[in-house]
Amino acid sequence: MRSRRRTVSVLATLLVAGAVLTAVVVQVGSDPSFGPAAESGPVGRTVDPPATVAGYHQITGEAAESLSARLPGTTPERVWFYSATPDDTRPGLIFSASTAQWSPRLAEEIRTHSLSWGLVNFFAGAKIDDPEDVDAGPLGGAMQCGSQPGKSAVVCRWGDASTVGSVAVFGTTDIRRAGAIAVQFRNAAEH
């Protein structure tokens, strides 16, 4: 139980660190060879956390507040926790996202930087060395997934013309499986 809490805490910290690093580093320069993310598809999308997706159930109430209180500092993204069963309060998945509507800073980054630039910086902040490209699903944009050596969790990150988001799936090292779950979350949440 203690090991699982530590893993959840470490991965939540890495997701937040990746999001914060992306917000900071992406301002440093652009990647003109790929063009800005704003050119990658429809704009004006928003994100609403789904109650249930892919067998995961959103943790709400005091349990969610307690988990959120463990997150370090502030993050430019909103974070939601999910468990494998309806009444469980131990996360099996963390979902985070931000939109250009919520964050003027993100809107500027999407307008001036490429999707690949954002993914590279996110995974550098999350200390994941070799993320793999995976299918971003019908909403387009770009998505990659990867894991830290020795960790039983996979983090997937996507970006498009108006949103960015991440899904960390605990208890797996299967990048394709985690990517498929991330696409299901994205499809259910992004409108």
Each residue's pLDDT, cut to its tens digit, for the chain (191 residues) gives 555 555 555 555 555 545 544 443 433 344 444 577 766 666 778 899 999 999 999 999 999 999 999 988 777 799 999 999 999 999 999 999 999 889 988 889 888 899 999 999 999 999 999 999 999 999 999 999 999 888 899 999 999 989 999 999 999 999 999 999 999 999 999 98
DSSP 160: -
Neighbour-count burial of 3, counting CB atoms closer than 10 A to its CB (0-12 exposed, 13-18 middle, 19+ buried): exposed
Q: In this structure, are residues 36 and 30 in contact, taking their beta carbons and an 8 Å threshold?
A: yes
Q: What is the pTM of this model?
A: 0.81
d(CA 162, CA 139): 11
Provide the strand spans (E) within 62-185.
78-83, 93-99, 132-134, 142-146, 153-159, 163-170
Per-domain boundaries in the chain: 2-189
